[in-house]
Amino acid sequence: MTRMGSIAAEAISLGQGHWAQWALAACVLVILFGLWRYVRLKNRLGSRLRAAHSRIDELSGRDALTGLVTRPEFEHALDEAVQACDRGTRKLALLYVGLDNFRPLNDGYGHRVGDAVLVEAARRLSRQVRGEPRASRLGGDEFALLVTADAASAGRAAAAVLEALQQPYEVEALDLQLTASVGIAVYPDHGSRPRLIGHAAAAMRAVKLGGGGAHALWDPAMDVDMREQAELLQELRHAVERGQLELYYQPKVDARTMQVTAAEALLRWQHPQRGMISPTIFVPLAERYGLITQIGSWVIEEACRQAAAWRKQGLRMRVAVNISGHQLRQDDLVQHIETTLHRHGIPPARLTCEITETVAMENTSVTRDAFERLRRAGLHVSIDDFGTGHSSLASLRRLPAAELKIDRAFVSDLATGERAHGIVQAIVQMARTLGMRVVAEGVETEAQRDTLVALGCDELQGYLFAKPMTAISLALWADGDGEQGPGGVFRPSLFDPTAPAPLDS
Ligand code: C2E
Ligand code: MG
Ligand code: MG
């Protein structure tokens, strides 16, 4: 073959190679496109099918998850019941039911468990109205029931509803327990037909605000409260950026030496018009409406900054912050605390995280993980308001906490009740067995102090020693310029090294 010929042959074979590659690529593209179309079509058909199912449920007037009647159907039943009431002499009560703390359960165990609880709760409610279309799921974890009753018998019906809902829920080998809040509006006593649902809902929210697990009749004051709350919430959204939040600090003292061991940071809201607002009012509001994460972050930052400033002045006590359940469920809480501590040069064991017993005992994987991460980070964990929840020794043993804080209620009952004495004694013994320190809060009298010391408490906190005060006041007080309290003996010792925390390295 001539040289020209061989070049031509090479070009042809090369060209054929390219063609083959192009053809292969085109085939792959066609297959991929086909696959993509198939998946899209399948998804579209799936969601159309689901939409069709819920549309069918909707048309049949039934909630797809629980099988209870939907809101339009319920409103229809309400219209008929009101007309029947108008014709006769009997009264009608609307019970608005909200499950307490359903959200953490749903977040912690997942939606499958949450859905199963809702289905079971709906079944129990349906039984209360004997299967009539008088029970409805109005949304999320909220239900409504219609019963023929006056105010007194509606109260009994609500008590029966609460009793039924707080029986254990056995879901996926879990044994869950919930309480509920019930608001009652009676027709015609508590308003005309259009206002009935709104009034019962306002009563339910008032019950929730008071801690839940109860029922209440609607009261005109509840509407005002709700309006005020809505206003307060709007203002709270801006409180951090407007610099209206402040931390007060209350010392904890060593029960034997009266040396100051720590200072607990307690939030205060200096409202420009309303004056100082207590955390018992705005912290629950912040928790319910998702503001606690932002406020909690500010508390951690501010407490660490203050701890560093005090260390520079020679004050070496631990600083404690209160952590709410919502914060504990935040994925990056521990990392956030660690970063803040590091930035301010504070060793982790010098920061105490106070977590209430009720939150600590929420036995979800999320709570357990959070506690484990706090332990690994070397933070000092304290179980606050201890004795009010339902801890078992077994569940306490699993928690890597260093401190139990006996609830104020037991301390104030010490003088009057044998029972409180026995409870404090039992808590101290249990803490000893588990290697935890015991702090008694709310110590107001010398008699209480003496009893608590005799019972073996490690640390005390309360108005007897000092009320919560600003950081500046605390430094002045420590310096001898502040008010002389009955615990004056321990004041100068504020400058001494503090008692070591059990997790101190
Ligand atoms: P807590 O953590 O159990 O705080 C103790 C409460 O008892 C404080 O009320 C304190 O001022 C009060 N107290 C202390 N000693 C005595 C005493 O001898 N007698 C009486 N009668 N009361 C005493 P405060 O500051 O109103 O706080 C109430 C609750 O608000 C706290 O209870 C805590 O649960 C919550 N809280 C406060 N600050 C924060 C915060 O930064 N974050 C979160 N999540 N919650 C906070
Ligand atoms: Mg506390
Ligand atoms: Mg407490």
What are 159's two structure tokens? 């008590």
Q: From atom 17 of ligand 1, which residue's Cα is the shortest distance away?
A: 442
Ordered per-residue pLDDT tens for the chain, 505 residues: 445 455 445 545 555 667 778 888 887 888 888 788 877 777 776 666 555 555 545 555 788 999 999 999 999 999 999 999 999 878 899 999 999 989 888 888 899 999 999 999 999 999 988 866 689 999 899 999 999 988 888 999 999 999 999 999 999 988 899 999 999 999 998 988 999 999 999 999 888 877 788 899 998 878 767 778 888 888 999 998 899 999 999 999 999 988 888 999 999 999 999 899 999 889 988 887 788 999 999 999 999 999 999 998 888 889 999 999 889 888 899 999 999 999 999 999 999 999 998 888 876 777 888 989 999 999 999 999 998 777 777 778 888 899 999 999 899 988 777 788 998 999 999 999 999 999 999 999 999 999 999 999 999 999 999 999 999 888 777 666 444 444 443 444 444 444 444 433 3
Number of domains making up the chain = 2
The alpha carbon of 34 and the centre of ligand 3 are apart by a number of angstroms equal to 63
Q: Which of 178, 238, 245, 253 is nearest to 208 (CA)?
A: 178
What are 213's two structure tokens? 């697990």
In a domain, 47, yes or no: no
In a domain, 144, yes or no: yes
Cα-Cα-Cα-Cα dihedral of 345, 349, 350, 351, to 10°? 100
The alpha carbon of 428 and the centre of ligand 1 are apart by a number of angstroms equal to 22
CA 217 to chain centre: 26
Name the phi and psi angles at 413, rounded to 5. Answer: -85, -5
In a domain, 117, yes or no: yes
> Do 404 and 282 share a structural domain?
yes
482-503: b (≥16 Cβ within 10 Å) or e:
beeeebeebbebbeeebbebeb
> Do 250 and 384 share a structural domain?
yes
Domain boundary among 218, 248, 265: 218
Q: From atom 25 of ligand 1, which residue's Cα is the shortest distance away?
A: 266
271-303: b (≥16 Cβ within 10 Å) or e:
eeeeeebebeebbbbbbbeebbbebbbbbbebb
CATH of the domain at 144: 3.30.70.270
**Ligand whose nearest atom lies closest to the CA of 320:** 2
* Cα 36 from Cα 33, distance rounded (Å): 5
Domain containing 203 equals 71-218
> Do 235 and 213 share a structural domain?
no
> Do 253 and 149 share a structural domain?
no
Residue indicated by tokens 């019972």: 455
Q: Residue 28: beta bridge partners? A: none
Write out 6-58 in H/E/C secondary structure.
Answer: HHHHHHHHHHHHHHHHHHHHHHHHHHHHHHHHHHHHHHHHHHHHHHHHHHHHH
Lining ligand 1 with CB less than 6 A are 250, 266-267, 278-280, 283, 299, 322, 324, 354, 384-385, 441-444, 462-463, 468
Task: Enter the pTM of the model.
Answer: 0.66
